[in-house]
Amino acid sequence: MTTLTTTIPQMAAKRVTPLATLQQTMTLAWRSLVQIKHNPWELLDLSIQPIMFLLLFTYVFGGAISGSTGDYLQFALPGLLVQNALFYTLSTAIGLNTDITKGVFDRLRSLPIARTAPLSGRIIADTAKQVWAFALLIGFGVVLGFRVTTSFFGLLGALALLVVVALAMSWMSVLIGLKASSPEKVQMIAFSTMMPLTFTSSALVPSATFPSWLKTWSDLNPVTHLADAIRGLLIGGDVTRAALFSLLWAAGFAVVFAPLAIRAFRSRV
C-alpha cells in the first residue's frame, strides 16, 4: 500500500499591519534609548558639547560681537539651539551607518517586522534626544542669565518648530548615512555640509554685518529662517514670516530627501 505525501506550500507571511509597525517602531526606538545605559558617553556627548559651545561663544565672542556677554547670550542661545539640533542629525546618520555596517540591520531583517521599523525607530529615538538637548541648553542658559521674554507657549512653540525642522532635515543625514561606506565618511561628509549652513546664517551673528554677497545667501539660508523664528518665539520679534519659511524649507527637505533615503534604505538592507 503506497502512501502519498502531499507537500502543502508554506503560506506567505502576512503583511505587517500599521498598528504592528508602530509597535515595532517604538520598540526599536526604545532600544536606541536604552543603549545610553550601556554607553553613557553618548549622553555625556549629547550634554557636554552643547554646554561647551554655549560657554565658548558667550564668554569668548560675546563681548566682541555684542559688547556684553549678557546681550550676546540673549541673541545667541536661540541660534545655538538650532546649531545643536542640526549637528545632532549627524548622530542619526552615524548611528544608522554603524548599525548597518555591523550587521545589526541584517539580524533585524530576519525577524517578522516591518522593514521601515528600524529606520523609523532610530529617527524617533534621536528626536527624543533632541528634546533633552533643548531642555538642557535652555536650563543652563537660564543659569547663565538667559530669559525667555515671551511666554511658556512661545517656549513650547520653539521646541515644536525646532523638532519638526530638524526631523525633516535629518532625512538628508539619513541618506548620507546610507550611502557612505563607513561612519568616518559619514561624519566627514555630513559635517562638511552642516558647518557652512550654520556659520553662514544669522544663528550666531547678525547677518547685517556680512558682505553683500554673503548676506544674500544668508537671507536664503534655511538655518537663518529657523534661527530667526526660534529667536522670535523665545525673546520676541517677527515670527510668522520666519516660521513660515522654515516650514516650507522643512517640507522641501522631506519631499526631496525622504524618498531618496527610503529607496537607499531598501536597497542597502
**89: which 3 cell numbers?**
542629525
Nearest Cα neighbor of 190 from 180, 200, 204 is 180
Cα angle 146, 65, 205 (rounded to 5 degrees) comes to 75
Cβ proximity of 247 and 162 under 8 Å: no
Q: How many CB atoms are closer than 10 A to CB 52?
A: 10
- H/E stretch holding 187 reads helix 183-199
Mean pLDDT value across residues 51-59: 90
Nearest to 201 by CA among 177, 182, 188, 218: 218
DSSP 8-state assignment for residue 4: P
Helix ranges restricted to H, 12-151: 18-38, 40-56, 62-66, 69-101, 104-109, 117-144
pLDDT at site 176? 87
Over range 100-122, report the average pLDDT: 76
Please provide the average confidence, as pLDDT, over all residues in the chain.
Answer: 84
- Quick one: how many helices (H) and strands (E) in the chain? 11, 0
The CA R_g of the chain, rounded to the nearest whole Å, is: 22
pTM equals 0.84
Give Cβ neighbours of residue 41 (< 8 Å, ≥ 6 apart).
Answer: none
Tell me, what's the pLDDT at 6? 44
User: Which has more confidence, 95 or 52?
Assistant: 52
Residue 168 near residue 251, CB atoms below 8 Å:
yes
Q: What is the dihedral of CA 96, 100, 101, 106, to 10 degrees?
A: 160
Give the CA distances from residue 75 to residues 4, 135, 163, in Å, rounded to whole numbers and listed in that order. Answer: 83, 17, 20
Sorting pLDDT into bands at 50, 70 and 90, what band is 140? very high
CA 233 to chain centre: 20
Under DSSP, the state recorded for 29 is H
Residue 7 pLDDT grade (very low, low, confident, very high; cuts 50, 70, 90): very low
Structure confidence at residue 142 (pLDDT): 94
* Digit-coded pLDDT (tens) for 155-190: 999 999 999 999 898 888 888 888 887 878 888 887
The pLDDT of residue 76 is 92
Quick check: 147 and 71 in contact, CB under 8 A?
no
Confidence of residue 268 (pLDDT cuts 50, 70, 90): low
Q: Could you count the other beta carbons within 10 Å of the beta carbon of residue 63?
A: 13
Indicate the DSSP class of residue 68. S
